Structure 1
Amino acid sequence: MERKKKTILAVAALAVVWSLYIILHHNPLAVPIQEKVKKCISIFILWSAFGIFAKFYDWIVLLPQELFANRKLIWKLAKNDFRSKYAGSYMGIVWVFLQPAVTVLVYWFVFTMGGRTPVSDTQGYPFVVWLIVGIVPWFFFSDAWGQGTSALLSYQFLVKKVVFKISILPIIKILSAFFIHVFLVAVTLVILLLNGIYPNPYWIQIPYFSL
């Protein structure tokens, strides 16, 4: 309990310092009224974030500790979930990677050849590049969100029969979806290179947009 108070006070002190910096900082190129509005919004967001941190401290701090303590179990269950996801399908695990590829091909065909006004380039880039860099993160988000929210139902046999940390169940599904996502990101990078789009400093943002 004492540690919790100290941590919250330390974060509060940091928020105060940050707030003072926002208030005292002046941008000579900014419109005064707009600068004031932005400062008010920034301070509101900052202290709202602090309020959420203080309110849900136990969940925010303890959850990462639980995940780290159970990392081996999470990894094992995630691999098992990945293998069993399409175990009953005709093509097995191949379908995990084939399904997104087929979806991309269908979209590409419809928008480049199937419509009355085919799309060739988008903002100077080939349509397939524009399509795949947007749809690949969506595949991950859709799969992780859908599977993660139903994790308790999927693993109800563990929840009912074993003393089990249910907080780790959603991350198992998310990690399982991430395996596919890594492969699709690699394919995306290859497609970018084949289209003459080479690495540049902006590629550092890939982990951010991938997650």
Structure 2
Amino acid sequence: MKELLLIIKEHLSHFGIIMRLARYEDKATNQGNYLGMAWQFLNPAFQVGTYYLVFGLGLRSQGNPEAHVPYIVWMLFGLSTWFFMNGTFMAGVSSITSKVAMVSKMKFPISILPTVRYVSDLTSFWAMLGISIVAMLVSGVPITLHILQFFYYFIAMTALMFSFGILNSTVNVLIPDYKMLMSSVMRLLFWTSGAIWNVDRLNGNHMQQVIAGIIKLNPFYYIVDGMRDSFLSQAWFWSSDRLQYTIMFWLFVMFIALLGSHLHMKFRARFIDLI
């Protein structure tokens, strides 16, 4: 716990540096493109269109029939959240190894590097979330008090990405093949994140219900479904059918944060040699 508190303290004391590095990351990523920052939401927008053509029109999926939410709106909130978490997750894996020159000369703690990418990617997340909200309002879906829990799920998402960032960036230094492994794992997790299909449809036989219960243990599913709960007025995170998953989510986040901070502090002094 002391190691985790030390890393949190490093983040708080270097918050200004995190923000400056994040702005630099934005400019460096898009400086060679004519449209610049616009590509941060154009790429996911094209992917959303592709998934809608396949699953919304081709397979005629439905989002939440009981609430009469159009599939495109239901899908937008799921994909905008997933794209952000997936991009931040994978960027966090290589956040230390990709900054070898910076790591060797820097005057700030290495632990903030995964968070820098998280802050940088927020630009595209806000843009996609804004598009989702506009689509929701145009479709006639009202805003209710459930939107207040967006702040809770945003904090939960930040905690999850922070924990994974510390763990993944450290393990990737120790195990060079780790990024390739995580890339494959995230492709699998996409289909169990509930981003493009409704997991609650698995309510037929007992085996399907068991599979649905296992899928809902996915922390990425918890955030994706929670964002939909916030904007599409489905449920509160403390409701009876959500509470057990809320408790398990935070236990998982705490475990990853403690494990990641322990490994980070144990091997941090050797990062330069290992890279």
**TM bin (shorter chain):** 0.5 to 0.7
CA distance in 2, matches of 1:208, 1:150: 28
The answer on 1:139 being equivalent to 2:83 is yes
The answer on 1:187 being equivalent to 2:131 is yes
Tell me the equivalent position of 1:77: 21
Q: Which runs of 4+ in 1 moved over 6 A?
A: none
Per-residue CA deviation, residues 122-150 of structure 1 (Å, 9 max, x unaligned), is: 42211101111111110111011011111
CA distance in 1, matches of 2:151, 2:88: 16
CA distance in 2, matches of 1:120, 1:67: 42
The answer on 1:94 being equivalent to 2:42 is no
Q: Which amino acid aligns with 1:128?
A: I
Higher-Rg member (1/2): 1
Q: Would you say the 8 A contact 1:158–1:164 is kept in 2?
A: no
Per-residue CA deviation, residues 11-70 of structure 1 (Å, 9 max, x unaligned), is: xxxxxxxxxxxxxxxxxxxxxxxxxxxxxxxxxxxxxxxxxxxxxx22222222211111
Tell me the equivalent position of 2:61: 119
Displacement of 1:120 in angstroms is 5.8
Tell me the equivalent position of 1:152: 96
With structure 2 as the length reference, what TM-score do the two structures score? Answer: 0.52
Secondary structure in 1 matching 2:36: coil
Displacement of 1:76 in angstroms is 0.4
CA distance in 2, matches of 1:121, 1:150: 35
The answer on 1:162 being equivalent to 2:106 is yes
Tell me the equivalent position of 1:59: 3
CA distance in 1, matches of 2:49, 2:140: 20
Structure 2's unaligned 5+ residue stretches are 158-275
Two-structure CA RMSD over aligned residues (Å): 1.8
Q: Would you say the 8 A contact 2:95–2:114 is kept in 1?
A: yes
Q: Would you say the 8 A contact 2:23–2:120 is kept in 1?
A: yes
Q: Which amino acid aligns with 1:196?
A: G
